[in-house]
Structure 1
């Protein structure tokens, strides 16, 4: 997985590889962040991402935003089953401008902490799809779920309704357990 990350870093335009002083670690930087990827020291079975802001952009990033990126990498990208296309999607996410990356981090926060949706009384939960789901006929299933072009970004979300809402024959919502007949 580490070697695949090195290949992806070489192919991305805004991700710059940095020399590493420690063996087994991959260092790279993006517009305002320095990232280090290495084996998780707790169990040595998956990769761990450590992000630090650059000196000139420390005021752009909160500690919570960086922790969310790290946790998302640890739980959704580098967790088994390992999928190279999930890693490619994450590299694509890092390859976007800062303002777009901050929006992606907000989506990741809702994905990693679904209880926030209920606390904020949202009607939907969101899950970031790093690989394309089977319901997309435009792209083969399992390919990278974040695609960038010059002016457009295509990404996939799975949005799920919170609670047990049932619909009657006319399509109107009924409360859970209510009689669905007119």
Structure 2
């Protein structure tokens, strides 16, 4: 994975389990951090990837494109483009010809991070480029990259959407199947 670090699941004294980039872990160790590395993204089992890749290919014709966004709330495909499964399909297509396995492993670990701002890697590589916690393709698998009608969800006190501190917009994470179903149900429908 050029220009990207590996993510690690670690458990730290007084902090608990979290996912961090290698450079963050190095900084913490230098500052006296005490903990244990549980696994790196590359340590996740191959069987996990095979299961995900098989699930993505079921019912999908070869060469099919990523689902287009559906704006009609009555359409059965409405909200599918926000799903975690769609994020995996996007990631696989973006990584065509490269190491899809490592990107999917990084995505699996990154999904467990409550606040994606915690994934910022520290420092710069030997060419002077900022370090990243994983490839840019994984961000496309992790974030939905589209705007939602947030009013119905915010009225219900849903904490899933927080404005980005850098751009002032919303960084919407891919949703689980139950979250997509909830979003579909919360969008006002014409009578």
TM-score of the pair, normalised by structure 2: 0.23
- Structure with greater helix percent: 2
Structure showing greater relative contact order (alpha-carbon pairs closer than 8 Å, 6 or more residues apart):
2
TM-score of the pair, normalised by structure 1: 0.24
Greater CA radius of gyration, 1 or 2? 1
- Structure with greater strand percent: 1
